Amino acid sequence: MAETHSLLQVIDLKKYYYKQRLFSSEKKPIRAVDGVSLAIRKGETLGLVGESGCGKTTIGKSVLRLIEPTSGQILFADQDILQLNRASLRKLRPRMQFIFQDPYESLNPRMKVGEIVGEGLEVHHIVRGKEKNQRVSDILGKVGLHPQDADRYPHEFSGGQRQRIGIARAISLHPDLIVADEPVSALDVSIQAQILNLLMDLRDQFGLTYLFISHDLRIVKHISDRIAVMYMGKIVEMADGEELFRRPLHPYTRLLLAAIPKLNLQKRIDPAAVREESRLLSSEQGCSFQPRCPHFKERCKVEEPQLLDAGGDHRVACHFAL
């Protein structure tokens, strides 16, 4: 899987949470991320899609080392950031930034907008004083806000505007990579569209690379070049956006696509397509999708499917699909 032109390479990433269970001596880990590998080329947008609890946010935070993984490698510009000491990691931080989901919680309410957006520039000693203020003004303009907004506090803005502030903060250091974790989920539909357009414009202007995380496949497909579908800590399918939509191979991907309400009366969801099989026993081994899978075979119980090539740069982890 050696990608010589990858800006970001994640290799066999694992994050397990160990919980002490009452009245039990065994420590069963919660496998939030269970062996995920992916690569993103410079200028590419990789969409990471999955429902709640699949591990996508954990991966997003691990990529910037905001969470310490249990094992694996994260190569950014060919350096394993998990091996770096604090000082070296700090030097890399301007090149990798994060956009958070909740515009109400991700901005310090006691800081003015100008201070929030300019903080990175200060802390990394890039520019100061008048020059910094000029840069902040420019960036605010780029995200559709006014220079005067620098003197106001976050609570004076709407959700969509706050998200623009968060985006301004993320691009202030001209990063190479941005991890966007559900950046539009908390916003109204009409504002979502504005912010998506903004993210796409900025990508073109600054040559950004995105890891775009969302549960909404429509949005992910809209903005991504390639898409990775996650289920219970693992990637189950990965392909180019159009290809994934035209030829979904994994039963979970098909379920996701079938479940999305289409704005088309002729295409109302067929209830049979989203009915859940449910086998009460989900074995420790084998495929984790078993209880919900309509194509379940004996092999699925014992052998965990690997992510394998299905042709056309399309990979899938399923015994049935291949």
CA distance 1 to 246: 25
* Closest approach of other proteins to the CB of residue 108, in Å: 23
- Considering only 28, 91, 146, 262, the residue that binds other proteins (CB under 8 A) is 262
**Residues 161 to 180 in contact with other proteins, rule: CB under 8 A:** 161
* Closest approach of other proteins to the CB of residue 173, in Å: 26
SS3 116: helix
Q: Does 263 bind other proteins (CB under 8 A)?
A: yes
Q: Does 158 bind other proteins (CB under 8 A)?
A: yes
Give the chain's radius of gyration (CA, Å). Answer: 21
- Considering only 93, 221, 247, 301, the residue that binds other proteins (CB under 8 A) is 221
Q: Which two tokens stand for residue 65?
A: 């080392």
Strand 209-214 with 177-181, pairing? parallel
Q: Does 277 bind other proteins (CB under 8 A)?
A: no
Q: Please write down the HEC assignment for all residues of 243-295.
A: HHHHCCCCHHHHHHHHHCCCCCHHHCCCHHHHCCCCCCCCCCCCCCCHHHCCC
Binding-residue total with other proteins (CB under 8 A)? 44
CB closer to other proteins out of 164 and 169 = 164
Burial of 298 (0-12, 13-18, 19+ CB in 10 A): exposed
SS3 23: coil
Q: Does 261 bind other proteins (CB under 8 A)?
A: yes
Q: Does 66 bind other proteins (CB under 8 A)?
A: no
Q: Does 41 bind other proteins (CB under 8 A)?
A: no
Of 67-75, 97-105, 217-225, 306-314, the segment contacting other proteins by CB under 8 A is: 217-225
* Closest approach of other proteins to the CB of residue 303, in Å: 25
Cβ atoms within 10 A of the Cβ of 206, count?
14
Q: Does 245 bind other proteins (CB under 8 A)?
A: yes
- Considering only 82, 92, 111, 257, the residue that binds other proteins (CB under 8 A) is 257
CB closer to other proteins out of 24 and 190 = 190
Q: Does 276 bind other proteins (CB under 8 A)?
A: yes
**Residues 79 to 98 in contact with other proteins, rule: CB under 8 A:** none
Q: Does 52 bind other proteins (CB under 8 A)?
A: yes
Strand 6-18 with 29-41, pairing? antiparallel
- Considering only 2, 22, 87, 189, the residue that binds other proteins (CB under 8 A) is 189
Q: Does 204 bind other proteins (CB under 8 A)?
A: no
CA angle 254, 256, 257 (to 5 degrees): 65
Residue corresponding to tokens 């429902």: 51
Q: Answer whether 104's CB lies under 8 Å from 162's CB.
A: yes
Q: Answer whether 290's CB lies under 8 Å from 236's CB.
A: no
Under 8 Å CB-to-CB from 273, ≥6 apart: which residues? 254, 255, 258, 259
* Closest approach of other proteins to the CB of residue 281, in Å: 13
Q: Does 196 bind other proteins (CB under 8 A)?
A: yes
Which residues contact other proteins (rule: CB under 8 A)? Answer: 51-52, 158, 160-161, 188-194, 196-197, 200, 215-219, 221-223, 241-242, 245, 255-265, 268-269, 271, 274-276, 278
